Amino acid sequence: MMRTMRESHAPFRMRILAGYLLAVAILPAQADEPSPAPAVTTASKGSALSVASVVTLRANDGRLLDLEPEAGLVRLLGHGELQLRGSAMSDQPLDRMPTHAAAISSSRRQALGQRAFGAQWLRLRPTLQLAEHVSVVAQADVFSGLWVGDLTRDVGADGSPRDAYDSIGSAELRWAYLEWRTRWGMLRAGRQSMHWGLGMLANDGDHRPRFGDYRKGTIQDRMLLEARPLGETSPLVFAVAGDRVRRDQFSDDARGDETYQGVAAISWRGEHVESGVYGAVRQQTNARGGQAALYTDKAKALLGDFYARAVSELTPDVQGFVGAEVAFVAAASDNPRTTTSMQANGRTKTRAIGLLAELGIMGGRVEATGLRAQAKWVFTVEYGHASGQADARGGQQSRFSFDPNHRVGLVLFDEVIRWQTARSATALRDPAFAGAGIPAAGSELLPTNGGVVGTAYVQPSFVFRPDASLDVCLGILLAQATSDVVDPYRVAADGMVVNYTGGAPRGRDYGVEVDGAIEKRWVSSAGLVPQLGLQGGVLFPGTALADEKGNTMRPPWVVQGRAGLQF
């Protein structure tokens, strides 16, 4: 449901980018003494065990360490990253669009059309430290999108449809806020993201997943007050915020949605145990394209989320960790899904729930000067559950959506289900089907955008780091639908209750996916971290991806070459 927000004026942005990179190159050299050439080292034991240290040691994004603010010192830091991707994949058969009905002949299929493409993005993150407790933080994505290769066909309802060469001329200001920290808490005002718990419901799009890439994320214009009423060392934290939501998995400014919400949270940030609960009350007005609709399409919603994490030292060199997050959405909308409810001035209710849990162990430690220390090996088992909805036209909805930046694997969610739901939603909004220029009610919520929706899964994964410059990762994904798999377009167009490939909806097994990744990093004394990597995955489909004859699709696969530069 997200859309890309873009601006023009590329020459002007090029001048800004050139000035920014020049400042990045010059200012650190003026502020700090030259550092020695980095050396990669290996240590047997990490620092003091805590939730924060375990979270940091598990992940590796190659990012350079930020300098801590200092009293009486004004300093500009200019970190960021440039990432290039080259992807090859199997094509995917999808339903034809209504506008192509004359060409159907004996087949309903029309392939996605994308087999190989190149993409890129440049993320800039300047930070102005005005004093020890005051900072101005910004983050912007520019030149983000495709620049070469095949384009997708008729999946424009997706938030990032990969259907245009859009890297030149794209820009998005993600963060621009003032932060003031005191011994009693923090005040933050401006455009900012939100990342809560394990990132299932609110994800900032700035945490690197095991497989794939982050994109977009939860963004809002926010006034946030965070307080520690028991003192600066107290683990008890209260927070309140008022938001104008710019983008999340439910609303998107670029589509014309208008959403406001109030948020309250309580968290306990202890050394070995961390937990929190937050609630949000929101009012949302969804945009309706085409001619005037017969209803206003407004919604009121309550979102709630609880998470907890705990860590324990199993041996002097091995740590165990466990985490869980539970979220629910309760909403009422005057966006009716049926003619009967429309005539009766009915409302559509939503009651959806999501669950995420993880259990793992890790050991050892590898370090490189200037980079975050990392665990030498990490084994994790992750379980996720998102409630499903077989009848998209019902008055009671129960379909839960993980934030798409909580990435699970490379193929099933981000290439197969994503494009199936995007093609279905695009067909429902096609003028040849919708008529009168009014898209089908709720069709903007159908695309998953690569997130986990209506599915339960288990994903064990293993990461091994021979040293701080090399990551090797293997993951296995087993997934089942949590309700019958039904294509809303086929129901509306043909009155047929079938899945997205025309098969029986009661087949809920999505199959088994195997993913692998390897990445090599180099650290230079100039404060640059070049990266090279390769990722790939293959899905062995189950009955949820079978056609009307019971035949499953050929195993879809993805291979991606990766090159990046952290600075």
| Pairwise CA distance, residues 444 & 430, whole Å | 12
Chunked in runs of 10, what are the mean pLDDT values of the chain (567 residues)? 36 38 34 34 52 86 80 90 97 81 56 95 95 94 94 93 91 95 93 94 92 92 94 92 94 89 96 96 78 64 97 94 97 69 67 97 86 90 94 80 95 97 90 65 86 97 93 97 93 88 93 97 84 98 94 95 95
The residue to which tokens 């969804």 are assigned: 286
> What type of residue sits at position 384?
G
| Pairwise CA distance, residues 229 & 183, whole Å | 10
CB 252 within 8 A of CB 1: yes
Could you tell me which residues come within 8 angstroms of residue 526 by beta carbon, excluding any fewer than 6 positions away? none
| Pairwise CA distance, residues 410 & 90, whole Å | 13
| Pairwise CA distance, residues 339 & 558, whole Å | 42
* CB neighbours of residue 379 within 10 Å: 14
* CB neighbours of residue 62 within 10 Å: 23
For 228-245, give the DSSP string. -TT-TT-SEEEEEEEEEE
| Pairwise CA distance, residues 490 & 428, whole Å | 9
Bridge-based pairing of strands 396-397 and 348-363 is: parallel
pLDDT at position 262 is: 97
pLDDT at position 44 is: 35
**Cα→Cα distances 46→22, 58, 186, 274, Å:** 36, 12, 29, 19
pLDDT at position 45 is: 39
Looking at the domain 10-33+40-566, which fold is it?
A: Porin (2.40.160)
Alpha carbon 435 to its chain centroid, in Å, reads 33
Identify which of 513, 386, 399 has the alpha carbon closest to the alpha carbon of residue 459. Answer: 513
The three-point CA angle 438-441-445 to 5° equals 120
CB 482 within 8 A of CB 527: no
Local structure of 316: helix, strand or coil: coil
| Pairwise CA distance, residues 482 & 266, whole Å | 31
pLDDT at position 10 is: 38
* SS3 annotation, 422-439: HHHHHHHCCHHHHCCCCC
**Strand extents, DSSP E, 1-115:** 40-43, 75-89, 93-95, 109-111
| Pairwise CA distance, residues 334 & 122, whole Å | 40
pTM of the model: 0.86
* CB neighbours of residue 189 within 10 Å: 14
**Cα→Cα distances 371→24, 26, 64, 99, 523, Å:** 18, 21, 5, 53, 8
The DSSP output letter for 370 is T
| Pairwise CA distance, residues 543 & 546, whole Å | 5
138 φ/ψ angles, rounded to the nearest 5 degrees: -135, 155
CB 519 within 8 A of CB 562: yes
Could you tell me which residues come within 8 angstroms of residue 264 by beta carbon, excluding any fewer than 6 positions away? 239, 240, 241, 278, 279
Question: Which residues are registered as beta bridge partners of 515?
Answer: 475, 537
Burial category of 540 from C-beta neighbours within 10 Å (exposed 0-12, middle 13-18, buried 19 and up): middle
| Pairwise CA distance, residues 528 & 520, whole Å | 14
